[in-house]
Structure 1
């Protein structure tokens, strides 16, 4: 019988849920936000890119600045900055102000991912590490299941600013519970800068990072514009889109746990299979996006084989020797969000250049093919038995 996970793990998952809800909330009210700020739909999509870029660049910098403090103090600082940034977004009256708010909350989110994954692994036995990581990462799926549709509903009935205030209230609630439940652990042992750089320069690490970049970038190329894809291309009613986003998130949640179970022993094969399915679904989606039931089927399948591959990506990362885990995890989160930024930004550029929404789906397929190629060329991740025992019982 498996031992129950500490309550702190579930609360870290709640924190991830809040961060993802913040990241994706603008996707739920793109037309309203574009009309209110006087910008195009593509420019609203760039707000997702800005959030991801800030996670990718600002997250590791913020994590390094806070790394000498205990985890609970780091979480307190991150929540405080996040709440202020989200409040600034709610009060923004121009596109530039909202872009700045997204940069602040994105930076915090990047650091939060890293400290949460590192902290949850310190709170459980080594044999439960991947299960705890999967639970924390479930917050990503819950952000899509609940956060994105909720933002859409709130914007429809009350306004897009109220969506920001709801996220602020959730962050205050989560911060209070998390700081009470998370154990008072010491700061991670610091390592000389040369040793940290040696770990970061490990070629195998960057092959893992490249795979993660492509997997997430492929998903977000079309997903950044999923609402107009479903309403304009597939001609689905607005009300149905909310329920479809909910179904997509539920599929992601289910896929997250299936992937976590498979990745314990077969991380690389799991990612390869997921990418192969993703490519097939993208091709079918691009060819038949104007057929409603095909669009629905493709969205559901993408839920199982897209972002839900995260536990397998983390499993490969944790099989490598590392220095300060929180920093490496934050760097990995940065690479993932660089993928989000790239996919979202590249898709936005295609629309700005006059291409149709179909091209964003083809772009996702192309990035997924690149990811499968990178994964196939990546070197074997060999770890010693001692390293494996202290991390995950996983093989590449």
Structure 2
């Protein structure tokens, strides 16, 4: 995160540190999402229901919601590089505990620890990333960092699912442990601390949270990603129980979803800087319609393939646009970015919880309907924001 060199800041090439941060996000996000591919094994191995195993996604999200901002506040006066290293070490501890878990409550504790580390690291990474590039390239730089999310869906989630089928879910947890350890070394080598870190102004950091527009942006982000995860958290049983795919094919289907996220991240990341609001509007509309249609065709395997790719293309790749909007309404500080992550995770919590209730009451079509309703709610918040700004909704 060096910011003392104008040469680096003015360079049109992305600094290597940005890619390293993206790799770190990949490692951390793989643990967050891989539960979706391990649900049957975790359910059997821990002796709990599929819904209870799915709630491990909710537990992770809750840890990020409540623990992330508090931990970031505690780290406000710490240099950013040591703070990131501490978070990676904490993550390793939690991931190791999860790999050794013999009871459900131990796994819950492991998910909380990894969630705390992930939330704080995300905020630090986004803040560092924004300081490495000129303002007109923040969206693209964030697309590289948040590309870790997308690559985790392309390679991390399917790899974890494949390892689970080959050697069991514990082996999947240990694999992520090794990846995070490697990432820690790369962060140590490539990310440099500022030459003279300034003393953070806590009052200034907190004052931005008085903005109603900022909280509106947080709400939009929470509902959009909550809608995505309402479906994503239960994709594995939906694909096998509703569409009738064999368990051995599921990792390949996750790859298809992940390829959609990578392509979407490239396209939407470039649009995030110049057309932030248009990107969010279009993405929200497509997401709401897509999830509703997916619920109707989920038993058709050919249409399911199309839906998976489009869900990947439209869902998580909205992250750069969401983050750019938040920074424009506030600042690029770690606390703001951590709060953005926390509110998104609140949406994930809501989405996965409602999807679980829907499954118990109506079956495996419910997650898509829940996701569509949450995406529609996000569009409503964008409309309120446009009315409050007294500008046409299509303006960036």
TM-score bucket of the superposed structures, by smaller chain: over 0.9
| Structure 2, unpaired ranges of 5+ | 1-9, 390-394
Equivalent residue, structure 1, for 2:317: 308
CA distance in 2, matches of 1:107, 1:14: 18
Change (3 A) 1:105 1:8: same
Across the two proteins, how many residue pairs are aligned to each other? 381
Match among 370, 376, 379 for residue 363 of structure 1: 370
Matched residue SS, 1:3? coil
Q: Which moved more, 1:142-151 or 1:257-266?
A: 257-266
Contact map agreement 1:141 1:249 (CA 8 A) in 2: yes
Deviations 1:275-318 (A, max 9, x none): 11112211211111111111111111111111111111011111
Q: Which moved more, 1:117-126 or 1:228-237?
A: 117-126
Deviations 1:92-144 (A, max 9, x none): 10000000000000011011110001011222233332221110000000111
Match among 318, 333, 356 for residue 325 of structure 1: 333
Q: Does 1:339 align with 2:347?
A: yes
CA shift at 1:379, angstroms? 4.4
Matched residue SS, 1:235? coil
Q: Which moved more, 1:281-290 or 1:93-102?
A: 281-290
Equivalent residue, structure 1, for 2:206: 197
CA distance in 2, matches of 1:279, 1:2: 39
Contact map agreement 2:140 2:273 (CA 8 A) in 1: no
CA distance in 2, matches of 1:5, 1:104: 32
Match among 9, 12, 29 for residue 20 of structure 1: 29
Equivalent residue, structure 2, for 1:220: 229
Change (3 A) 1:272 1:62: same
CA shift at 1:237, angstroms? 2.0
CA shift at 1:191, angstroms? 1.3
Matched residue SS, 1:5? coil
CA shift at 1:376, angstroms? 1.1
Change (3 A) 1:70 1:175: same
Equivalent residue, structure 2, for 1:348: 356
CA shift at 1:81, angstroms? 0.6
CA shift at 1:240, angstroms? 2.3
Give the TM-score normalised by structure 2: 0.93
Give the TM-score normalised by structure 1: 0.93
| Structure 1, unpaired ranges of 5+ | 383-394
Matched residue SS, 1:184? coil
Alignment RMSD: 1.7
Deviations 1:60-82 (A, max 9, x none): 11111111111111111101111
Match among 83, 87, 96 for residue 96 of structure 2: 87
Contact map agreement 1:49 1:344 (CA 8 A) in 2: yes
Match among 66, 73, 77 for residue 68 of structure 1: 77
Deviations 1:319-378 (A, max 9, x none): 1233x71110010011111111111111112223x3211111111111111111111111
Equivalent residue, structure 2, for 1:388: none
Runs ≥4 residues deviating over 4 A:
379-382
Match among 249, 270, 273 for residue 261 of structure 1: 270
CA distance in 2, matches of 1:187, 1:155: 44
